[in-house]
Amino acid sequence: MGQDAYMEPLSSTFYDLRCKIYVLLLAGVCSALKLTVPSHMIHGIEGQPLQLSVAYHFNIMVSDIQITWMFEGPSTQTISLLMSVNQTVVSDLEYQHKFTFTPPNASLLIKSLHFSDEGNYTVKINIAGNGRISACEKIHVTVDVPVTKPVVHTEPSGGVAEYKGNITLKCTVRNGTRVIYQWMKNGNPIEASTNYSLSANHDTLSIVPVVKEAIGNYSCLATNSVSAMQSDMIMPTIYYGPYGLTVNSEKGQKIGKVFTFDKGEAVQFYCSADSNPPNNYSWIRKAENSTHVITYGRYLEVASEKVTQKAEEYRCSAYNNMTGKRDEMGVFVVIIPIGSAKMTQKGKYLSPLAIITGISLFVIVSMFLLLLWKRFQPHKVIKRKLQSRPETDYRKAQSISGHENALDDFGIYEFVAFPDPTGISRVSSQSDSGSHVQCQDFHGTVYEIIGQIPEQHHDHQQ
Ligand SMILES: *[C@@H]1O[C@H](CO)[C@@H](O)[C@H](O)[C@H]1NC(C)=O
Ligand SMILES: *[C@@H]1O[C@H](CO)[C@@H](O)[C@H](O)[C@H]1NC(C)=O
Ligand SMILES: *[C@@H]1O[C@H](CO)[C@@H](O)[C@H](O)[C@H]1NC(C)=O
Ligand SMILES: *[C@@H]1O[C@H](CO)[C@@H](O)[C@H](O)[C@H]1NC(C)=O
Ligand SMILES: *[C@@H]1O[C@H](CO)[C@@H](O)[C@H](O)[C@H]1NC(C)=O
Ligand SMILES: *[C@@H]1O[C@H](CO)[C@@H](O)[C@H](O)[C@H]1NC(C)=O
Ligand SMILES: *[C@@H]1O[C@H](CO)[C@@H](O)[C@H](O)[C@H]1NC(C)=O
Ligand SMILES: *[C@@H]1O[C@H](CO)[C@@H](O)[C@H](O)[C@H]1NC(C)=O
Ligand SMILES: *[C@@H]1O[C@H](CO)[C@@H](O)[C@H](O)[C@H]1NC(C)=O
Ligand SMILES: *[C@@H]1O[C@H](CO)[C@@H](O)[C@H](O)[C@H]1NC(C)=O
């Protein structure tokens, strides 16, 4: 009988070849015996039972059903594990307690899987009746230990200042074979890039350079063919900043870096910049030749009476003691005398009405002037009026500001046609004299502060 040959160890290639030849012959002769396995690859867990399921059927009259299981490990030759004829099992004594096998059911149960059980299992079925038919299938079995929950170690354990070091995250699993590591940031897989480098087996992630953008929740996913476990989130501490320093005030009016306050109103500022750890804020007063810290903290409040200069500079300094970086920003405080402040407010309040009135009046007066001009052509009269205008306007401004010499006041004062709601467009004294004449006729002169804002400072210091 040919099957005796299989009791002896054979070289795997030789066996494979024979199995294939049988299958080919069978396929050619008849398809009376059909042998199927659910999967040709099974991942088993160390210490667990593993079922190698096999189903077969045939449609001929048979007398004998012979089932043979063979095993081929990575370092062993093909060995026969057991063989059955009808219900009778003949197993290799070495393996007889290892398996559960109940013919004619061809499925094989490995009671407890070990690493040495990894390899190729071949089942071969011979049926004998009118003739002899055989079929075989091969199942590749791997054996692994499931991974335990990975743990991430951060190096250094403290924080790292931006651009000043590396962060190394190392992922370790206590148990687990053939582990594949994958790093995630905020749940998204990390690939090696300019900012991230990975060790050969990907268990170590290096963040170089360390930048603010690298802040996030990192986790390590450890997988093998029988399990997958994810570590807890790790958020490395990255010190950065200060960035985006701003100074604001709830009161007062802001034009660039110049804040105007009414006399008597408290001068309040709020300084903020993004950083980790929080900045150490300080406020510096720059007066004449002196520079000194007046207060610590992000808030500054000064009584407007204490603002002695025309445009006093206050600087907010934000310092991050971990990055060693400092950012500074200066603001200028201008105190508006009460009279002019009221006037400005009144002008503001009236502005929408004034615009409508102004436009209506402009149309009416234009038409009236057009009529007059058409009748009398009073060129000379208008010319004289225009030449005398700037001087009278200047005198008016003097009386409003309350100073003997209006040049003492801060900034450049400019005469405008009438208050503009946006405060953007201004009519200079050089512009269309026609509209000027109209405005003056109905609404007096209103001035606003523009320009000559002291040079803006924004220093970065290491
Ligand atoms: C197997 O069973 C069949 C009938 O079911 C019988 O004819 C045959 O002799 C048996 N073979 C052996 C080796 O017992
Ligand atoms: C199992 O069989 C495949 C081909 O079918 C072969 O590549 C592999 O090396 C075999 N494994 C062992 C452990 O012999
Ligand atoms: C063979 O036995 C297994 C359990 O050991 C069972 O799940 C399977 O259905 C059986 N196959 C047949 C064809 O009876
Ligand atoms: C950071 O890593 C780079 C390359 O991996 C290395 O050249 C550099 O010395 C490291 N710097 C620190 C502070 O560890
Ligand atoms: C990890 O493996 C050790 C021995 O290798 C075992 O004692 C322990 O129970 C395993 N832990 C887990 C969670 O499987
Ligand atoms: C990567 O590093 C560059 C500077 O080298 C930085 O501009 C960029 O924001 C970093 N990206 C991330 C996602 O950290
Ligand atoms: C990290 O996770 C914590 C808690 O799950 C969350 O509050 C935080 O916003 C996350 N950070 C980022 C950058 O997604
Ligand atoms: C802020 O810095 C100043 C000196 O630069 C120091 O006197 C003060 O204690 C610091 N405050 C904090 C909260 O670190
Ligand atoms: C400020 O310094 C300049 C020269 O550095 C000097 O001429 C001027 O008198 C000083 N002003 C005050 C108020 O000390
Ligand atoms: C930075 O300041 C904090 C308190 O504001 C302090 O706890 C920390 O030790 C300081 N770090 C350095 C490097 O000075």
Residue with tokens 């985006």: 244
Distance 107 CA to ligand 3 centre (A): 6
Which residue lies with its CA nearest to atom 13 of ligand 5? Answer: 148
Which 3 state secondary structure label does DSSP give 90? strand
What is the rounded CA–CA span in Å between residue 76 and residue 195? 47
119 lines ligand 2 (CB under 6 A): yes
Do 64 and 115 belong together in one domain? yes
Which 3 state secondary structure label does DSSP give 420? coil
Do 203 and 93 belong together in one domain? no
Containing H/E element for 85?
Answer: strand 79-85
107 lines ligand 3 (CB under 6 A): yes
Report in angstroms the alpha-carbon separations of 185 from 169, 213, 241, 333: 12, 11, 22, 46
Those residues whose C-beta lies under 8 Å from the C-beta of residue 178, and which sit 6 or more positions away, are 144, 224, 225
Ligand 10 probe mutation, 321, 322, 323, most atoms within 8 A of CB: 321
Which range marks the domain in which residue 116 is found? 2-144
What is the rounded CA–CA span in Å between residue 203 and residue 330? 49
Q: In this structure, which ligand is nearest to the CA of 47? A: 5
Q: What is the DSSP secondary structure assignment for residue 299, as one 8-state letter? A: E
167 lines ligand 6 (CB under 6 A): no
Instruction: Output the CA angle 418-383-415, nearest 5 degrees.
Output: 25
Do 430 and 368 belong together in one domain? no
Which residue lies with its CA nearest to atom 5 of ligand 1? Answer: 63
Residues with CB under 6 A from ligand 7: 186, 216-217, 233, 235
Do 303 and 437 belong together in one domain? no
Domain boundary among 356, 375, 394: 375
Do 7 and 131 belong together in one domain? yes
**Phi-psi bin for 40: left (phi > 0), alpha (psi -120 to 50), beta?**
alpha
Do 434 and 351 belong together in one domain? no
Domain boundary among 213, 236, 259: 236
Do 72 and 195 belong together in one domain? no
Domain boundary among 355, 375, 395: 375
Do 272 and 357 belong together in one domain? no
pLDDT for residue 445: 34
- Look at the chain and report how many structural domains it folds into: 5
Residue with tokens 């005030």: 249
Show pLDDT as tens, one digit a residue, over the chain (462 residues): 333 333 334 444 455 555 555 544 444 444 578 999 999 999 999 999 999 999 998 888 888 899 999 999 998 889 999 999 989 998 888 888 899 999 889 999 999 999 999 999 999 999 988 788 899 999 999 999 999 999 999 989 899 999 988 999 999 999 999 999 999 999 999 999 999 999 999 999 999 999 999 999 999 999 999 999 999 999 999 999 999 999 999 888 888 889 988 888 888 999 999 999 999 999 998 877 778 899 999 999 988 888 777 788 899 999 999 999 999 999 999 888 865 544 444 444 445 445 555 566 666 667 767 676 666 664 554 455 545 555 545 454 444 444 444 444 444 333 333 444 443 433 333 434 433 433 333 333 333 443 344 444 444 443
Which 3 state secondary structure label does DSSP give 12? helix
Contact (CB, 8 A) for 73 and 118: yes
Across the beta sheet with 299-302, what order do the strands follow?
A: 160-161, 238-248, 267-276, 299-302
Report the nearest atom of ligand 1 relative to the CA of 86.
Answer: 1
Ligand 7 probe mutation, 152, 217, 219, most atoms within 8 A of CB: 217
Distance 90 CA to ligand 1 centre (A): 15
Do 254 and 280 belong together in one domain? yes
Residue 208 is part of a domain; what is its CATH number?
A: 2.60.40.10
Distance 66 CA to ligand 3 centre (A): 17
Report the nearest atom of ligand 9 relative to the CA of 290.
Answer: 14
Do 7 and 116 belong together in one domain? yes
Residue with tokens 């200060």: 242
pTM, to two decimals:
0.67
Do 126 and 250 belong together in one domain? no
Report the nearest atom of ligand 3 relative to the CA of 100.
Answer: 5
Q: In this structure, which ligand is nearest to the CA of 239? A: 10
Identity of residue 220: C
Do 95 and 73 belong together in one domain? yes
78 lines ligand 2 (CB under 6 A): no
Which residue lies with its CA nearest to atom 10 of ligand 9? Answer: 289
Those residues whose C-beta lies under 8 Å from the C-beta of residue 291, and which sit 6 or more positions away, are 284, 285
